[in-house]
Structure 1
Amino acid sequence: MHSAKAATLALTLFASGCAAGPDYQPPAPLPTVAGAFITSAPGTQSGEGQDRWWRLYDDPVLDHLIEQALVTNTDLRVAAANLRRAQAVLQESRMARLPSTDLNGGVSYGDGFGPNAGAQFAGSEQQWSQSGSLAVAWEADLFGRVRRSIEAARADAATIAAARDRVVVVVVAETARAYADACTLGESEAIVRQSIRIAQQGLALTQARFAAGSAATFDVERAAGALADARAALPPLVGQRQARLFELATLVGGMPADIPVEARDCIRSPAPVASIPVGDGVGLLARRPDVREAERRLAADTARIGIATADLYPRISLGASGNFFRNDQVRGSDAFSFSVGPLLSWSFPNIAAARARVAQAEAGAQASLATFDGVVLGAFKEVEQALAAYAAQQGRRDALAESVTRAETAHRLAERRYRAGAISFLDLLDAQRQLVQGRIALTGSMQALGSARIDLFKALGGGWQAAAPKAGDSDRRAGNADSDIDVRGVQ
């Protein structure tokens, strides 16, 4: 009677699906998440952020380079392999719901002795022996240890999927940055070469005036020095551009010698053809894969509290086994044996170690919650910083562009007046120097502005949504089955 009541109670607990430890609840959103960002920048709008943000450049070369990087980049291949491994771990955890089996068998030859053989068998002849065994065991997950293990493995797989998406964001951004830098530096080379031609024209003009007796040797030397200064600005730009092209070749999975021809020939700085949509805090948390990664890690660590808590209670397994052994001494019914029954495993009354593991799991979940909060705060900080830097670089670029326009006008006027003998060569040289320096500063500002723009796109977190399946994920849904629910929760 008592055994029947105990069995009924166990079946009731199992059917109820109870599990030890806390059920996971997504972190509460911050009060200011739904609002717009406090920093504004020219060329941006409040519309929802764009997933494939590089399409705003309307540059087929950039589109092709990013598509190639998403397939061949080595960091993405590593991330995809890590995701497949995590999904395999999840599959292994799910198998704990099913009975485990162990089958053994063998044939041997030698002196054979029965289980109760005495001295009368000591001189038995050599013979063949056959043996086999089958064991089946199934854990009755009364306190949810298996269930929590599956929850933790599922959240771990979703964490790795988010980490893979985070790598996609970085690879896309750095590919676009390397391409934009190479193009901008190519444009800078063209401007410096134009400045060299201006310096050469100034030297030729001074030499002609020297030959006519209207200029001194001092003026010729100054003109030659200005030409040397203009030429000195070219080699660093060439070296920087080659370095960025080598970086681009590596990002798309090639050797340094495999520089894409389209990028090598690019000499115009790319820029978006439309305003940049930045969205709001809710959209930011939905896009940023590092936020989802931190949230899924918190879910996994919460499930591990349940795993540790389940060790405070008995672990019951139902099993059966059968064995077969036969040789010349063991035949018939004596060759078979079997057993069936439950197995109880419990560390009671010494559960101090189990309680210590629960405390460790709880501390780990608290650390993951703090990490999640830090990632959310860091995401907003990065966007605000990127917007501020982007606005500052745009202001600097506009001011330098005006400065170059005025320097070009001043140089043209100075050249005319110098030909007419109205000003000295020193005045012409000063106008020429201001023009060259202004153009070099403008190209440097254009590169900094392009990099700040990429930083903004990167901080907004877009790019992985449509690109992630190309990175080698064969079963993304299995690794991130419940991520959508949790991401909505953290919004």
Structure 2
Amino acid sequence: MASALSALLLSPALSGCILGTEKPELNLDMPAAYREGGRSAPDASLPALDWWRGFQSRELTSLMEASQVYNLDIAVAIAQIVQADAQVGVSGAPLLPSITGNGTAEREHVSTASAGGAGGPTTFSQYSLGLTASYMVDFWGKNRATLYAAEESATAARYNREVVALTTIVTVANTYFQVLAAQDELRVARRNLAAAERILVLIKQQFNGGTASQLDLSQQEALVSTERAAIPPLEITLRQNIAALALLVARAPANFTVHGGTMTQIVIPRVTPGMPSELLNQRPDIRQAEAQLASSNFSVESARAAFFPQIQLTATTGVQSAALASLFGPGAWFYTLAAGLTQPIFDGFLLESQLKQAKGLQLQYLQAYRKAVLSAFADVEKALVALSQSTLQERLQAQAVTDSRKAFEVSETQLRAGTVNLITVLQTQQTLLTNENTLAQVRLTKLLAASSLFQALGGGWNPNGQLSSLEPSSPPSPQP
């Protein structure tokens, strides 16, 4: 019996001895450098873990840090990690022997009729205590491959948490920039409204003096109404984005405020992309796709091993007696040993279909991994183009605003002096309005491009550190 139990305990060490290592070819198109990245040093100014501090906005930094602690999407991702870790335990259980304890106490009364009418009724008892151990010898590596697949899935769940966290903080930054843009555009709209109202007062004076027509007066009144009507949509954008920020930090919008400011106070941190090959390690979504592909590889191995014979070892030992007092006495001990082998012969093509399904999933994750890598390269290229061109456009547009403002101021002065017609004033005023609104949009595009570049480079997480904490925090209490 001892040798049988030893065989059960040693059998895990003999399992999985021919686990395969077949992996699909990746065939990645790896560029040597970014087209828009210039010739910067490979390690020059890669994103810091706290890259958002480079914008030099205390409120934005506070929102970023709060989102990482309280965001509910991150909390959901952490809960998924707990599930994935538990699945690792479930998948690893078949690799260990299963031991079950049992005990029974029976008392049976046999009637006279059952005893054939001879000797009268009979009553007897039966007591037993025992242990049953069983183990499926994983000689072909089926169960071990399933365990490895679950472990890779748990790793993918951790990378998913990092993907969610990175997406969340970038969304916070983008939403905050939308708030600043709306505030800037509101200031522009109110300033233009005030200028239009000044011109309207002047035209009314000229109309009363007989030097301006009713058409001139009506045109300027229409412009004032247009400027006034442009303010409510901007208020909608501002307030809706503040509500969106409240959700990102798990706060009720009624208990949440954003002070904001202006986009001109935001500094764009310096960052260079480095080498494209570094993205394979820097981006958590690529690491997640890689873990999913590895998990599917092991799932294929598990499905393939299911075609081979399965060896089941079972051992039972214990004590059994008709009298409770002699249950542990001499002669009460018993044991049984059994070994079984099962070989699938015909199962309606079940195993073959399961293998095809596993291979199909492997192909799916292979293509997803390739797409993740190429998408990462494209994300960096697009962000670099947007950042460089919007920076150039901002400089040119700022000059256009300066020139159009000067032209409007001159035309307003000349209108007061009566040396210019109203049409010229209206044209310069409309040009200034258009250029100022365009400048605000260009500045927003520049800020969004900067945050997109940090996201494309995988900024905000440590590829070589511990992946994630499993302790989500409670939402902050409302501020009075």
Interval containing the TM-score (normalised by the shorter chain): 0.7 to 0.9
Displacement of 1:38 in angstroms is 0.7
Displacement of 1:303 in angstroms is 0.9
Q: Secondary structure at the match of 1:21?
A: coil
Q: From 52, 58, 61, give the equivalent of 2:59.
A: 61
Contact 2:162–2:467 (Cα < 8 Å) also in 1 = no
* Separation of aligned partners in 1, 2:173 and 2:68: 12
Instruction: Report the equivalent of 1:82.
Output: 80
Q: Are the structure 2 counterparts of residues 467 and 235 from structure 1 closer, same or farther at C-alpha, using a change threshold of 3 Å?
A: farther
Q: Secondary structure at the match of 1:319?
A: strand
TM-score for the superposition, normalised by structure 2: 0.83
Displacement of 1:453 in angstroms is 2.6
Q: Secondary structure at the match of 1:277?
A: coil
Instruction: Report the equivalent of 1:226.
Output: 223
Q: Secondary structure at the match of 1:299?
A: helix
Q: Secondary structure at the match of 1:312?
A: coil
Q: Are the structure 2 counterparts of residues 469 and 199 from structure 1 closer, same or farther at C-alpha, using a change threshold of 3 Å?
A: farther
Instruction: Report the equivalent of 1:295.
Output: 290
Instruction: Report the equivalent of 2:100.
Output: 102
* Separation of aligned partners in 2, 1:124 and 1:264: 92
Q: From 392, 401, 406, give the equivalent of 1:404.
A: 401
Q: From 360, 364, 367, give the equivalent of 2:364.
A: 367
Instruction: Report the equivalent of 2:235.
Output: 238
Q: Could you tell me which amino acid in structure 1 is paired with residue 233 of structure 2? A: P
* Separation of aligned partners in 1, 2:416 and 2:357: 84
Q: Are the structure 2 counterparts of residues 455 and 470 from structure 1 closer, same or farther at C-alpha, using a change threshold of 3 Å?
A: same
Displacement of 1:406 in angstroms is 0.8
Q: Are the structure 2 counterparts of residues 122 and 331 from structure 1 closer, same or farther at C-alpha, using a change threshold of 3 Å?
A: farther
Q: Secondary structure at the match of 1:276?
A: coil
What do residues 321-367 of structure 1 show as CA deviations (whole Å, max 9, x unaligned)?
23566667997589764312333232258796434433433333233
Contact 2:16–2:142 (Cα < 8 Å) also in 1 = no
Q: Secondary structure at the match of 1:318?
A: strand
* Separation of aligned partners in 1, 2:233 and 2:73: 30
Query: Is residue 2:310 matched to residue 1:312?
Result: no
Displacement of 1:155 in angstroms is 0.8
Displacement of 1:222 in angstroms is 2.5
Displacement of 1:130 in angstroms is 5.4
* Separation of aligned partners in 1, 2:115 and 2:444: 93
Query: Is residue 2:17 matched to residue 1:18?
Result: yes
Q: Are the structure 2 counterparts of residues 265 and 359 from structure 1 closer, same or farther at C-alpha, using a change threshold of 3 Å?
A: closer
What do residues 126-179 of structure 1 show as CA deviations (whole Å, max 9, x unaligned)?
x98755442112333322223212211111111111111111111111011111
Query: Is residue 2:160 matched to residue 1:192?
Result: no
Q: Could you tell me which amino acid in structure 2 is paired with residue 51 of structure 1? A: L
Q: Which has the higher contact order (CA 8 A, sep 6+)?
A: 1
Instruction: Report the equivalent of 1:283.
Output: 278
Q: Could you tell me which amino acid in structure 1 is paired with residue 143 of structure 2? A: V
What do residues 289-311 of structure 1 show as CA deviations (whole Å, max 9, x unaligned)?
12111111111111112212222
Displacement of 1:22 in angstroms is 2.6
Q: Could you tell me which amino acid in structure 1 is paired with residue 85 of structure 2? A: Q
Q: Could you tell me which amino acid in structure 2 is paired with residue 363 of structure 1? A: G
Displacement of 1:221 in angstroms is 2.6
TM-score for the superposition, normalised by structure 1: 0.82
- Where does the alignment leave 5 or more consecutive residues of structure 2 unmatched? 1-5, 473-480
Number of matched pairs = 459
Query: Is residue 2:389 matched to residue 1:421?
Result: no
Q: Are the structure 2 counterparts of residues 201 and 58 from structure 1 closer, same or farther at C-alpha, using a change threshold of 3 Å?
A: same
Q: Secondary structure at the match of 1:306?
A: helix
* Separation of aligned partners in 1, 2:169 and 2:384: 19
Instruction: Report the equivalent of 2:144.
Output: 147
Contact 2:130–2:318 (Cα < 8 Å) also in 1 = yes
Contact 1:133–1:321 (Cα < 8 Å) also in 2 = yes
Q: Secondary structure at the match of 1:137?
A: strand
- Where does the alignment leave 5 or more consecutive residues of structure 1 unmatched? 1-6, 476-491
